[in-house]
Amino acid sequence: MKPSEVSAATSALLGELVPKYMDPSAVAIVEGGIPETTDLLEQRFDHIFYTGNGTVGRVVMTAAVKNLTPVTLELGGKSPVIVDSSANLKVSAHRIAWGKWLNAGQTCVAPDYVLVDEKVRDAFVEELGKAIGEFYGENPQASESYARIVSPRHFDRLKGLLRGTTPAIGGVSDEGTRYISPTVLVDVDLESQVMNEEIFGPILPVISVSSTDDAISYVNAHAHPLALYVFAENKKVVREVLSRTTAGGVTVNGTILHLTNPNLPFGGIGESGMGGYHGRAGVRIFQHMKPVLTRGTKLDPSLTYPPYTARKEKIFRKVL
């Protein structure tokens, strides 16, 4: 196991606990940054499992190719939310707010942006604001339920995404504590940086669309996401979204929960990753199914052996 160097305290804790509670001959912890990762990737493994961004995912896969090592890559990406005009806006806002601002948006399946029917956009944004207030109070910075950004580098990156925007909700930050409030953006330039890189933080762009077709077209014009969420009471809309889009996994009228079901494999597709895990699928990816056939020796019919005569061919044709 090679934990992220970004969360050094967690990495150190794993380094302390894993040898204590797990078989050290089976599980080892390697701490460090790029040099340690590079050294690890030069080793010949039976399988490599990587969770992280696509840039490093490509590095991992390139290194694995040298030894023809199979890989499982869980890479994230921009996970879209489609909110139809038939959706229950209050419930939708609560579930999207929960999924987005859980751990301050620092999860690989956090809703990255919302495509909402233009007829209900303003009402939806209003419900989002109410949900934020219910979850974190008037001052989320004082809430024990609201997280902070993991590192100064990521804090600066997220601040950069907000540069030049006018948040409809939030936009408050504090560098000293790496706090960025739950933030909602509207009237977003689709060519802006915030719409073209994975946010991985508490910023949620809300984009108006005129129809489900427009929402589907926008999603399909971009890389396949790790997760996709659709909110609609209209079952035809749900079927349309499911049948015409491609994603690692989907939750209908909810967020994130598809990955909590141990009976469902979790993973990406295309640029969001390859391979599925969790539950039985998580065991299978580390296994090789070795077929074994054992024949008896009491009978050894010559039918399958040369020479292949016309009589043998006739028998074969009857059998097959």
Q: Is residue 319 over pLDDT 90?
A: no
Catalytic residue numbers, as ranges: 74, 108
Evaluate if residue 320 carries a pLDDT over 90. no
Choose which CATH entry (3.60.20.10, 3.40.50.80, 3.30.365.10, 3.40.309.10) describes domain 79-270. 3.40.309.10
**What confidence score (pLDDT) does residue 93 get?**
99
Is the CB of residue 271 less than 8 Å from the CB of residue 77? yes
Q: What percent of the chain is predicted at pLDDT more than 70?
A: 100
Q: How confident is the model at residue 7 (pLDDT cuts 50, 70, 90)?
A: confident
Residues 6+ apart with CB under 8 A from 245: 216, 219, 220, 228
pLDDT classification of 246: cutoffs 50, 70, 90: very high
Which residues in the chain are classed under CATH 3.40.309.10? 79-270
Q: What is the mean pLDDT of residues 211-229?
A: 98
pLDDT of 259-277, one tens digit each? 999 999 999 999 999 999 9
pLDDT digits (tens, 9 = 90+) for 126-147: 999 999 999 999 999 999 999 9
